[in-house]
Structure 1
Amino acid sequence: MAPGRPDRPGPLRRAHRPAGSAHPGHPGPVGGGVTRPGEIEVLRAGALTTVQDLGRPGWAHLGVPRSGALDPAALRLANRLVGNPEDAAGLEITLTGCAVRLTKAATVAVVGAEVAVRAGERPGDTGRPLSMPAGTVLRVGPARHGVRSWLAVTGGIDVPLVLGSRATDTLSGLGPRPLRDGDRLPLGVPVGEPPSVDSTVGPPPRSALHLTLRLGPRDDWFTPTALDRLLGTAYTVSPLSNRVGARLAGATLPRTVAGELPSEGIVLGAVQVPADGQPLIFLADHPTTGGYPVIGVVSDVTPLAQARPGTTVRFHGPQR
Structure 2
Amino acid sequence: MTLRVLAPGPLATVQDQGRPGHAHLGVPRAGALDRPAAELANRLVGNPDDAAVVEATFGGLQVRIDRAGWCALTGAHAPAALDGRALPHAQAFWAPAGARLGLAAPPDGVRTYLALAGGIAVETVLGSRSTDVLAGVGPAPLRPGDVLPLGAPVTGPRPLDVALPPASGPLRLWPGPRADWCVDPLARLCAQGYRVGEASNRVGLRLEGPAVAWRRTGELASEGVVLGSVQVPPDGQPVIFLADHPTTGGYPVVAVLHADDVARCAQLRPGAEVGFTPAR
Deviation digits for residues 223-254 of structure 1 (CA, Å, limit 9, x no counterpart): 23x44421201011101100000000000111
2:165 corresponds to: 203
Secondary structure at the residue paired with 1:301?
helix
Q: CA deviation at 1:273?
A: 0.6
Give the Cα separation in 2 of the matches to 1:176 and 1:303.
25
Q: How does 1:281-292 map to 2 (within 5 A)?
A: 281-292=240-251
1:301 corresponds to: 262
Q: Does 1:253 align with 2:208?
A: no
Q: How does 1:14-163 map to 2 (within 5 A)?
A: 38-163=1-126
1:190 corresponds to: 153
Secondary structure at the residue paired with 1:261?
coil
Give the AA of the match of 2:251.
Y
Q: Aligned pairs, how many?
A: 278
TM-score between the two structures when normalised by the length of structure 1: 0.84
Structure 1 unmatched runs, 5+ = 1-37
Give the AA of the match of 2:145.
G
1:16 corresponds to: none
Secondary structure at the residue paired with 1:146?
coil
Q: Does 1:220 align with 2:180?
A: yes
Q: CA deviation at 1:204?
A: 4.8
Tell me, yes or no, if the aligned pair for 2:175 and 2:186 is still in contact at 8 Å: no
Give the Cα separation in 2 of the matches to 1:104 and 1:235.
45
Pick from 234, 238, 244 the counterpart of residue 275 of structure 1: 234
Percentage identity across aligned positions? 52
Tell me, yes or no, if the aligned pair for 2:179 and 2:253 is still in contact at 8 Å: yes
Structure 2 unmatched runs, 5+ = none
2:143 corresponds to: 180
Q: Does 1:266 align with 2:225?
A: yes
Q: CA deviation at 1:269?
A: 0.4
Deviation digits for residues 252-297 of structure 1 (CA, Å, limit 9, x no counterpart): 1111110211100010000001121100000000100000111110
Larger-Rg structure: 1
Q: CA deviation at 1:194?
A: 1.1
Q: CA deviation at 1:191?
A: 1.2
**Aligned-residue CA RMSD (Å):** 1.4
1:312 corresponds to: 273
Q: CA deviation at 1:182?
A: 1.0
Tell me, yes or no, if the aligned pair for 1:227 and 1:253 is still in contact at 8 Å: no
Deviation digits for residues 98-129 of structure 1 (CA, Å, limit 9, x no counterpart): 11001111111000112111111221111011
